[in-house]
Every structure is written in C-alpha cells, then in structure tokens.
Amino acid sequence: MAPTVMTRIVTLLLSCLLAWLPVAASAQEDNGQALLEALDVRAFSEKAAAIEDVIESQDPRANAWLEALLDGKLQRLKDDGSFVIVTDNVGRQWPVEDALSGESLGEVSRRDLDRITINNALRGQLRSALSMIDLFAESREARQAAAQKLIGKVDAELSETLERRLESEEDDQVRRRLEQAMAVYRLEQGDVQAVERLTGSLNSDIRVALTRASQSDDAAVADAAQRALVSIEQQLKLNRGLETLYFGLSLGSVLVLAAIGLAITFGVMGVINMAHGELIMLGAYTTWAMQQLLPGQPGLAVILSIPAGFLVAALAGIAIERSVIQFLKGRPLETLLATFGVSLILQQLVRTVISPLNRTVVTPEWMSGSLVINDALSLTLNRLYVLGFALVVFAGLMLVMRRTRLGLEVRAVTQNRAMARAMGIRATRVDILTFALGSGVAGLAGVALAQLTNVGPNLGQSYIIDSFMVVVFGGVGNLWGTLVAGMSLGIINQVLEPWAGAVLAKILVLVFIILFIQKRPRGLFPQKGRAAEG
C-alpha cells in the first residue's frame, strides 16, 4: 500500500513539474515580447526608455534586436503582430526570422510588414547602446572590452547611463576603465580634476584626449594635461625599452638555439660546418611535414615535431660526418669547402623534392596572440614560447654535458684529444655522437624558427654567419659562453636597428666582435685544458 501512495505522489510531482515548464518558458518569452512591445510605440521618448530597458535586461538577444532596430530590420507582421527580423531587404519578397526564437519564417512580402520607426536621436542612442551593451554581460572580459571601447566616445546622454553602471559594477578593472571613460568626457567639458584620473594611463585614446586638452584655451586645463603627458611619455619610454629587451631576448634565444649545436661540434672536432644552417632548415621542414601528416591539429604536430626534428637533423649530421668530415680531419680549409658544398646540395635537394617556394607553418592556438602587460606593452606568445624552449634545450644540454658519460667524454676530448685517447676514450665514437647531438639541436632550432618565420630552402643561410659570431664571441665549445653571447648579440641588434637599420646594425655588431676578439682572442669564456693553451 505504501509503495502505491509513494508512486502517486511522485507521479503528481512530475505532472506539476511538466506543467510548470511550459509556463516558465512562456514567462521568459513574454519578457522578450514585452521588451519588443515597448519599442513599438509612437512616442519617441518612450522608445528611448524602452531601449534602455532592453540594454539592462541582459537578454542574450538584445544585441540582435537593437542592431535590427538601427538598420530598420526589426518589423512586425501585419496579420498576427509578431515581431520578426528581416535578414535581407532586397527585392519584394524578404526572408524573415522570428525575433524571439530566431527560427526562419521563410519569405514575406514587404507589404505585409510594418517597420518600427526611429528618429536621428534614437539612432545616436542605439549606436551608443550597441557600443556599451556588453557592459551588462556576465563575462568580465566582455565588460572590460566594452568599457575600453567607450573611452573618448561618451556624450552627455551616455554619461548618465555610465554613472548608473558604475554604481553596480563590482569588478575593479572594469570600474577603472569606466572611470577613465567618464574622466575623458569630463576633461572635454573643461574639468581640471579629470586629469588626475587620467595621469599615468598608457591608453592611446586617453593620450589623444590629453593632447587635445593641452592645447585648450583654459590655462589650468592645458597645464595639467601637459604635465600628465610628460609623465606618460616617461612611462612609454620605459615600456619601449622593455619591449626592445624582450625582442632582443627573443632574437637571442633563436641565435642560441642556432649556435649551441655548432659550439659543441666546433669545440670537440674543430670542424667549421658550413652545412649547419641546412640542418636548421631540415628541422623547420620536419615541422611543416608533421603538420601535413596531421591536418587540423597544429598543436599536436608542433609537439611531435620536436623529437622528429631532432632525429631527422641528427641522422643527417651522422651522414655528413661519416661521408665527408671523417676523411678531412685536421684540414679545416678543405672541411669548410666540403661542408659548403653539402649545404648547396641540401638546398637543391629540398627545392627539387619539395618546392623552391616558402612554406607556412600554422601556429597553434595556444601559441597565438599576446600576453598583455599594459596598454603600451604586450608580449607575443610565440616568441615567449621560443624563448622558454631555448632555455629548456640549454638546460637539457647542460645536464647531458655534466651528468652523463657522453658529456664527460666530450669534455675530455675537447680539452685534450690525445690525452683522452690515451685514457681509453674512443675519440671517433665521441665525434660521431657529438656531431649527431649538435646537428639534432640545430634541428630543434629549425622547429622553433618555423613558428616565427616562413620555411624555405634558404632559411639556414640567414643564421649561419650569426651562429659563428656567437660561438667566437662566447668562447669555442663553452655552452655558458654561447648563451651569454647569443642573448647579448640579440639585444645589441635590437637596440641598434631602430636608428641604424638592419644591415648597418649587423655591420656594427661584426665590427664590435672583431675589436673584441683583438682583446680576447678566446672569447668571453675561453676553453680550459692543455689543448686550449697550446
């Protein structure tokens, strides 16, 4: 008996719930219907109030309604009075959709529609409303972006709405933007105190407003605005300096990646490998090839191209060492010429097999965009990732060189090859593994470069000379020297380029290195050991 009663109670509750759902949906629909009904009145003053109600309703359809009203596309069917939005008002038959549900209602003769009329004052209100409707969105980012757009666009009518919005806004960042928008409006009205609110802001619209105010006939306003501009200009110089430093470190990280493999092979084997740039190119093409194998998944392709790029370049390096370099040891000039020939062969091979045209590597979504620090400084994420990647590769190489047997043998051969052989170290094996390691790191440099520039057969040629400069400047075979030299030359290049130009900046850097080598022939961090002293 008890289960029967319980079953009836549950059935009754479910029936009430099912009966309530249409009522709730109807009430929500009636709310939208009521908002639209308020727009279709004769008095324009009442329409203005209705527009404000639509804005404050936070209805997700409000933006579409107001845009349609501004464009003359919010209309009513004559037969049943339902509200529709005209999607295309060309011809005699217009396609329409229900304003409440968004469902398509097919085509309707334009004679069967009544347009909701507006005047110029309402058009201005609607334009302002559309620019600030996101101020009532749930998303903080959307509200902040909307407040940002209002700076310099506030008028007397809009200021009253912003004042009310300020009272209810809880987020500090959004409130600050709204206060700045109001301060710009008050500044335009000659309010000197508004300058205090704008002082220190790096927003471009605020700087424009202060510049106009500095030319005001009101001496107090002009003087206050001028002082604010001087303060802002000092902050802008600091931010420009930080931006230059960031781009310099970014360029330096690329130079470190490109040069660190060369530093290892040059330090151990004394080989000037002119094909090192083509090993970088192979790493970049590996990244492009991985994206062709995994279409639509650029992020996964980039991650997989890291080990793939290392492996491809390392195998190519072993092939070069076994087929060319091992026969030319102790003959640096012949090695230079031979590896230069190998570089030309690799370039032509890529042109023949793939294409002489540049290829574009798609940047993953998580590497796109910028990290915004303030209104005048933002850091591009792809360069930030490359900088972090270079530091990770450097740390990995340091662990290999300091914590593994291969690293111990490499350091021994670097310092004194003859003594290392006498101690039982197989120098030939060390040469092969070292060349493979240095070539693999060059492939990693190519993977990183593919995120910054187009991939082409001549990609490596742009970095081979810079790589040698980094190695010589830092000290042959020294990883710390390569890191310091790469970062230093990257920053120096970025500092010189704005006033000297790219070509002259490189010439000045080369002159600097020549003069530096005259004083310190072994670089910043010279090798240690008997071979280095000899």
Domain boundaries, the chain: 31-136, 141-237, 248-464
What is the pLDDT, as a whole number, of residue 18?
Answer: 46
What is the pLDDT, as a whole number, of residue 349?
Answer: 93
pLDDT bin (cut points 50, 70, 90) of residue 247 is: very high
What is the pLDDT, as a whole number, of residue 116?
Answer: 86
Q: What is the pLDDT of residues 196-237, one digit of tens each?
A: 888 888 888 888 889 988 888 888 888 999 999 999 999 999
Alpha-carbon span 139 to 365, nearest angstrom: 21
Nearest to 209 by CA among 194, 510, 301: 194
Residue 347 has pLDDT above 60, yes or no: yes
CA torsion, ordered 206, 210, 211, 212, to nearest 10 deg: 110
Nearest to 151 by CA among 188, 177, 125, 124: 177
Nearest to 356 by CA among 230, 456, 232: 456
SS3 155: coil
Q: Give the best-scoring range by mean pLDDT among 129-143, 352-366, 419-433.
A: 352-366
Residue 229: CA atoms inside 13 Å, Cβ hemisphere, count?
Answer: 17
% residues pLDDT > 70 (the chain): 91
Q: What's the whole-number mean pLDDT along residues 84-95?
A: 84
Residue 417 has pLDDT above 80, yes or no: no
What is the pLDDT, as a whole number, of residue 528?
Answer: 59
Least confident of 19-28, 70-79, 352-361: 19-28
DSSP state of 455: B
What is the pLDDT, as a whole number, of residue 54?
Answer: 83
pLDDT bin (cut points 50, 70, 90) of residue 15 is: low
Q: What's the whole-number mean pLDDT along residues 377-392?
A: 92
Residue 296 has pLDDT above 90, yes or no: no
pTM of the model: 0.73
Greater confidence, 450 or 521?
450
Q: What is the pLDDT of residues 476-520, one digit of tens each?
A: 767 888 899 999 998 998 888 877 777 888 888 888 888 888 888
What is the pLDDT, as a whole number, of residue 122?
Answer: 82
Q: Read off the tokens for 306.
A: 């890291």
Least confident of 9-23, 267-281, 292-306: 9-23
DSSP states of 332-378: HHHHHHHHHHHHHHHHHHHHHHT-SS-B-PPPPGGGSSEEEEETTEE
What is the pLDDT, as a whole number, of residue 431?
Answer: 83
pLDDT bin (cut points 50, 70, 90) of residue 47 is: confident
Residue 20 has pLDDT above 70, yes or no: no
Q: Read off the tokens for 487.
A: 């970062």
What is the pLDDT, as a whole number, of residue 476?
Answer: 72
Least confident of 5-14, 30-39, 96-105, 139-148: 5-14
Q: Which residues fall within 8 angstroms of residue 391, CB to CB, at 6 or more apart?
A: 253
Q: Read off the tokens for 198.
A: 């704008």
Residue 38 has pLDDT above 80, yes or no: yes
pLDDT bin (cut points 50, 70, 90) of residue 429 is: confident
Q: Read off the tokens for 23.
A: 């009522």
% residues pLDDT > 90 (the chain): 21
Q: What is the mean pLDDT of the chain?
A: 83
